[in-house]
Structure 1
């Protein structure tokens, strides 16, 4: 297979020579041309365009000066302009040049990482997958402007579906009160659930995932911290109202075995997948989600937890790596048309304040999380810090950011022995600028 097309490159240049206005419509760059002479010519065309000068045969020839001989002289330019009968196929020729350029870039990148001599197979694999992701993203056909008539037609159909369909809009969170504040998990959104260790992030995720799976949605869980058997222990405890310690030890009473058998029969029917490989790179996660999405149109992805995902390549700082992962998760939500819910750890700064309720500023040392997320929900338990609290077994779900809705706090009952959350149906709505931190 050839990684260039001289004919397509000649057709692009010939088309611009024939109809100079095309230089203002193309998004091609000079370095996307393979032939050195074509690269020089197109670079001159772009230079004339950017300096607001006329892009025609005379100006191009004058601008090239002595370089004209390197590209075959004025005769070669004339030959290309005269070889084009019509510019109707300009977009197709442009596409071929772009795709060939992407293929060459991919091959160069592969040679570079091969020459770098990675000693770690996982890092080598992540680099390769990163190249594949980049090429795939750039090669994907992108629709530009959409006329308002088409856009409003789609909007009208969606509004009708919302009004008359009995289908739930968005995917449920763990509780009704939290649903009302967040507006549920929407497609193409990145949703963060953050807290200090041992507050209940994983339990909240599993409660959410079980609820979504019961709504006939495919659920994907990436558990980078705990093996899947530990997640099954926790899911069964919450499902059957059996103390987690009894599940771990297997010391179940007869009636508890009966509960387990019933729950087992129900849960094996759920469309729920768990990937518990530690140290996954963001490229591996995106690849796995793409494959799952092909056979499952309704999908939600959970990740436990964000800071454990590898960026798959070298970064100058940990903050830059976490920011890269966060942005990639948002892109993954968009490209797969599904909600992504990622757990996140908070900085120790929470512990230094008198009021230990988390704020957005507690995320700031973690790259672009605050910027990329559509919703950010903090979990706070007063009994985590104060055993004599007046609010035992209550967890506050603090929605501190909601790009498309309100912010506020939903209170839920936290049955820690079962790892289960129940509706208390208490909400406190905040003003939009509250709890943003300093």
Structure 2
């Protein structure tokens, strides 16, 4: 029996999908609602099945009947490259009735829980092999088990008494009090951590700015910090920059190498080569992944993130940038297409249980203001982005001002669900493709390196660097 066969029941996943289409065709909307209320796309192991469930959910959200034709209109191709119409029709034909629909749904959820248990064991074994402290392994396993309880409960009634939630809240508070809670993810910038209250699981964090403001630099640096300094697992979906450029920027940031000097290889001095070697060594030891495939759709982004999370774990995801995410529906106007992507990004953050950094562009409105400061309402293409975001960080760098010429950049938290609006200053080191903590002057490379205690704040591990 293959490993894939052991990790899920194909008949159960097909049975759920086929039963939904049959129930919709027969006008049994109550059964459709019951089935959809029991499972989520994250419960499906096979990526094509998960994508088909997403297409079915989109049809239901738009008030459309669910059948092979309608789901193929929503999403023409599946992650495997197969036609949605053919795949959905085959499943619908092979499921004889809806009689066992709820049994199929229960099996799908049970296997999702089993896979989660296996993942928890693999993660603990990996951390032991890496030499992580026992208290940290236990704390993260406890959090994973708490997430597992959430997974088991998700298929039950959607409503519950608030009194039933109180024990969970108090347990979480007790874990924090007794240092048993998983460490919070840090951005690596002290004042930004204070501003946003660290990076929260299941949150969609929008980083926006005008071109050349430094939004990509900030997002890349945060993922660098989590993956390299914090020993986490990071994934960047880059629809703008290529993988080589991102890697060069990371080497420059980690090693303190001038980007312009890295293009003049024959002129590099031995000290610079040493720094490049050190940075490359840090990257080699990190769980840091890139995908620069152009025109990726939300279905393909979700597929990549889910696969990495299943195989290696995943602590943070960055998408650069939202406006370049491909869409399947050609008839949608620009605002509707971007709004749909934004909603999908928010749902993905909740599904994966991690912070998702979504980079976005601003319109030209800030340039007309006396202080040139941006607002969340300046987000380009769709107001849905501001609505979906748990936090909106606006990168404001005015190269025409005296402070801007010195590299001073303001990070503005214009929206935060769990933090009040505010701002902080950081020092832009454009030549090194990074920001550093603001201290009234630009610190030297040595000072920056000596002041980095990133790993302790991000994942609770001691920085051995």
1:107 to 46, 59, 68: 68
Distance 1:182 1:332 in 2: 21
Q: 1:168, CA displacement in angstroms?
A: 6.0
- Which residue number in structure 2 is paired with residue 242 of structure 1? 257
- Which residue number in structure 1 is paired with residue 324 of structure 2? 308
Is residue 211 of structure 2 the alignment partner of residue 197 of structure 1? yes
Structure-2 change in CA distance of 1:361 and 1:309 (3 Å): same
- Which residue number in structure 2 is paired with residue 352 of structure 1? 368
Gaps of 5+ in 2: 1-10, 40-51, 57-64, 93-104, 110-153, 441-465
Where in structure 2 are the equivalents of 1:344-423 lying within 5 Å? 344-363=360-379, 365-382=381-398, 384-386=399-401, 388-389=402-403, 392-423=406-437
Secondary structure of residue in 1 paired with 2:431: coil
Task: State which structure, 1 or 2, has the greater radius of gyration over its C-alpha atoms.
Answer: 1
Where in structure 2 are the equivalents of 1:167-182 lying within 5 Å? 169-182=183-196
Gaps of 5+ in 1: 10-27, 47-90, 427-438
Root mean square deviation of aligned Cα: 4.0
Is residue 235 of structure 2 the alignment partner of residue 220 of structure 1? yes
Q: 1:350, CA displacement in angstroms?
A: 2.0
The TM-score with structure 2 as length reference comes to 0.64
After superposition, give the CA deviation of every residue in 1:262-306 in whole Å (9 maximum; x if it has no partner): 221121110110001111111110111111222344521011111
Is residue 395 of structure 2 the alignment partner of residue 343 of structure 1? no
Distance 1:305 1:255 in 2: 35
Where in structure 2 are the equivalents of 1:6-405 lying within 5 Å? 32=23, 39=27, 95=35, 105=66, 107-109=68-70, 125=81, 128=84, 142-143=155-156, 144-148=158-162, 150-165=164-179, 169-213=183-227, 214-251=229-266, 252-363=268-379, 365-382=381-398, 384-386=399-401, 388-389=402-403, 392-405=406-419
Distance 1:265 1:390 in 2: 33
Distance 1:284 1:177 in 2: 35
After superposition, give the CA deviation of every residue in 1:365-404 in whole Å (9 maximum; x if it has no partner): 424100000000101112x233x44762111000100011
The TM-score with structure 1 as length reference comes to 0.68
Q: 1:192, CA displacement in angstroms?
A: 0.4
Distance 2:24 2:74 in 1: 23
Distance 1:96 1:407 in 2: 37
Q: 1:354, CA displacement in angstroms?
A: 2.3
Mean Cα displacement is larger for which, 358-367 or 194-203? 358-367
Secondary structure of residue in 2 paired with 1:385: coil
Distance 1:393 1:167 in 2: 37
Q: 1:128, CA displacement in angstroms?
A: 4.0
Structure-2 change in CA distance of 1:202 and 1:390 (3 Å): closer
Structure-2 change in CA distance of 1:106 and 1:239 (3 Å): farther
The question of whether the paired residues in 2 share the 8 Å contact of 1:113 and 1:124 is answered with no
Secondary structure of residue in 2 paired with 1:302: strand
Q: 1:247, CA displacement in angstroms?
A: 1.4
